[in-house]
Amino acid sequence: MSITLKHMSKSFDHETFAVRETSVSIQEGEFFVLVGPSGCGKSTMLRMIAGLESITAGEIYINGTLANDMPPNKRQISMVFQNYALYPHLTVEENILFGLKVRKIPKKEQKKRCLEACDMLGMTEYLKRKPRELSGGQRQRVALARAVVSQMPICLMDEPLSNLDAKLRGQMRTEIRQLQQKLGITMIYVTHDQVEAMTMADRMMVLKKGEVQQIGKPLDIYNNP
């Protein structure tokens, strides 16, 4: 599914803009990265696309349909956060299947999707564990599995690797790219890390103080900073 932003803006105080006049078309199956320093508006933009934050001005289209007032659960979007957002009292399996339960997906189908996702992410042996019994990398895999089983055509990730050490971060970058390609989903990935943006993006948007500095392929941006 494609995502188009037209002059999208956000002001929290009716005075300054957290996001200002952003326009871009993100293609189906594209790995699109939002990059820039802390406070430049990345999370706000992601939250507006997810429907978790209202839009002050402009439009967002999901697959050509105006989505400004579409509720989050109708947008066909899954999300992965930096802090994993796992339920501490639930097992890995229950965490992964929580959203499917809410959507009343049949039990058999839930099990099937869970096993497939855990197989891809190497988490099959941890299904009965609680989040506190897992390492940071394993917790992030649970959060990824939860996005995978939702089978949403769009995935938004907000700094998903910043709590991990450098070695694991490198490994997870590759895993996330492979997963995204295998599933053919449209990805919008937020990071403050230039290297991460350059190594993962099909195209990237460089933000500064809520304004778009550049949009392009990593090599083009690298050659014309």
Binding site for ligand ADP (CB under 6 A): 12, 18, 36, 38-44, 85, 87-90
Nearest distance in Å: CB 205, ligand ADP: 12
The amino acid at 65: T
Length in residues, the chain: 225
Do the strands 186-191 and 154-158 form a parallel or antiparallel pair, or are they unpaired? parallel
Q: Which is nearer to ligand ADP, 108 or 132 (CB)?
A: 132
First to last CA, the chain: 30
Instruction: Using DSSP, state whether 71 is helix, strand or coil.
Output: coil
Q: Which is nearer to ligand ADP, 10 or 169 (CB)?
A: 10
State the helix-helix crossing angle for 92-102 and 136-150, rounded to 10 degrees: 20
Alpha-carbon torsion, ordered 182, 183, 188, 190, to 10 deg: -60
Nearest distance in Å: CB 50, ligand ADP: 13
Q: Which is nearer to ligand ADP, 7 or 89 (CB)?
A: 89
Nearest distance in Å: CB 49, ligand ADP: 12
Q: Which is nearer to ligand ADP, 136 or 178 (CB)?
A: 136
State the helix-helix crossing angle for 107-121 and 136-150, rounded to 10 degrees: 140
- Locate all alpha helices (DSSP H) within 134-204, ordered by sequence: 136-150, 166-183, 194-200
Q: Which is nearer to ligand ADP, 36 or 58 (CB)?
A: 36
Quote the CA–CA distance of 221 and 225 in Å, as a whole number. Answer: 6
Nearest distance in Å: CB 184, ligand ADP: 25
Nearest distance in Å: CB 96, ligand ADP: 12
